């Protein structure tokens, strides 16, 4: 309950307003994140151009005005853009005093003629600049192939090896690989080089393809797309074709795309490569498949153990090699998911298990 003071004449009472306590709220914004230049223009950092520039050849004599206009485009390296900028400059001069309406002021004829002469001179100078650039681009177009051929000859002359690093012999079907950055070249035998590249692309872990980037075995540096194209073209001249190399080139050297678009082919190659290894390395896959099929057909445990013992002691036996080949065909049929191959595999399984049952009824 509020208590008011006693009433008195000539004194005006003002009711005091109670101030609400101000709640202190935590600032959501960190002062460290606030820019020092808030509400101010940030300082501009000028970075000078240090790249190549066009220069007017000494044999071309032009005025200082033309040189000044030429320098405005000296950092542009596209003739189409140069033409566009020249047209833009000429278009900005199309305004004339003599083209204004009759209601506006017109200069004296002598002044108008001088203005027209000035703009005509400017347009003529811009056309000269465009003509100089046209000659320079034409000269560069003719000079670049000559420089490229000179670089090729220099790389070939600086050959780093004369024998193929795989065969250690002088290549009968030489394939030359150029390194323009280092101005050197390497020579390989076409067939051995193709096999080295294919082995990298066919690399697999167990039966899963994991292609690797092809690289120069003398420098351990990966091949560029241009070098791969050169290798493919040179190998084809000697009749050495490789669908893997062509596919990698088609996908721009991207291993991920190469794997995606050739996944099934690489999977089949990985399976075939896996079963070409020694019987010891593939034992787990072969025995697991045998145990599974033997249990499904209720093959006696004696025959199962005797076959496994034969696999470990006499892997050269015909029945053992037949079962290894059948295991490989099983994985291939499973990958292709072809009903015809699955039916053939089922028949082959029954035939081989019957042979194993009769062959290992008595201990070998």
Residue range 303-341, pLDDT digits in tens: 899 999 999 999 899 999 999 999 999 999 999 988 899
Residue range 19-29, pLDDT digits in tens: 555 555 555 54
Question: Which residues touch 32 (CB under 8 Å, ≥6 apart)?
Answer: none
Q: CA–CA separation, 155 vs 179, rounded Å?
A: 7
Residue range 217-249, pLDDT digits in tens: 999 999 999 999 999 999 999 999 999 999 999
Question: Which residues touch 184 (CB under 8 Å, ≥6 apart)?
Answer: 155, 158, 159, 160, 178
Q: Could you tell me the pLDDT band of residue 18, with boundaries at 50, 70 and 90?
A: low
More confident residue, 90 or 100: 90
Tokens standing for residue 244: 């893997």
More confident residue, 115 or 97: 115
* Global pTM value: 0.68
More confident residue, 46 or 152: 152
Q: 249, 225 in Cβ contact below 8 A? A: yes
Q: Tell whether the model's pLDDT for residue 128 goes beyond 90.
A: yes
Least confident of 169-183, 246-260, 283-297, 349-363: 349-363
More confident residue, 215 or 9: 215
Nearest to 265 by CA among 248, 249, 277, 278: 248
Which pLDDT score is estimated for 97? Answer: 47
């Amino acid at each position: 309950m509020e208590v008011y003071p006693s009433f008195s004449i000539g004194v005006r009472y003002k009711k005091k307003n109670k101030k609400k306590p101000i709640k202190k709220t935590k600032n959501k914004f960190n002062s460290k994140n606030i820019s020092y230049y808030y509400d101010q223009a940030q300082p501009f950092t000028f970075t000078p151009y240090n790249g190549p520039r066009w220069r007017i050849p000494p044999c071309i004599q032009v005025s200082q005005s033309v040189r000044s206009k030429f320098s405005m485009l000296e950092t542009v390296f596209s003739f189409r853009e140069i033409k566009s900028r020249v047209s833009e400059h000429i278009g900005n001069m199309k305004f004339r005093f003599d083209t204004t309406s009759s209601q506006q002021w017109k200069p004296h004829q002598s002044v108008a003629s001088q203005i027209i002469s000035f703009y005509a001179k400017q347009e003529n100078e811009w056309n000269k600049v465009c003509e100089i650039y046209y000659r320079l681009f034409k000269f560069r177009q003719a000079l670049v192939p000559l420089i490229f051929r000179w670089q090729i000859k220099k790389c070939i002359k600086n050959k780093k090896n004369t024998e193929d690093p795989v065969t250690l012999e002088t290549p009968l079907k030489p394939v030359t690989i150029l390194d323009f950055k280092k101005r050197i070249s390497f020579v390989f035998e076409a067939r051995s080089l193709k096999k080295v590249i294919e082995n990298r692309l066919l690399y697999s872990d167990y039966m899963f393809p994991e292609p690797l980037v092809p690289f120069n075995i003398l420098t351990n540096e990966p091949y560029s797309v241009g070098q791969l194209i050169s290798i493919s073209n040179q190998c084809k001249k000697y009749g050495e074709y490789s669908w893997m190399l062509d596919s990698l080139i088609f996908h721009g050297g991207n291993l991920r795309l190469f794997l995606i678009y050739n996944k099934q082919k690489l999977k089949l190659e990985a399976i075939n490569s896996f079963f070409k290894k020694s019987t010891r390395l593939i034992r787990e896959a072969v025995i697991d498949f045998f145990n599974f099929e033997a249990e499904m057909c209720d093959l006696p445990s004696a025959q199962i153990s005797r076959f496994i013992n034969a696999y470990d002691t006499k892997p050269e036996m015909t029945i053992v090699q037949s079962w290894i080949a059948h295991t490989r065909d099983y994985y291939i049929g499973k990958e292709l998911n072809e009903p015809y191959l699955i039916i053939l595999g089922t028949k082959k399984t029954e035939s081989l298990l019957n042979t194993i049952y009769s062959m290992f009824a008595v201990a070998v």
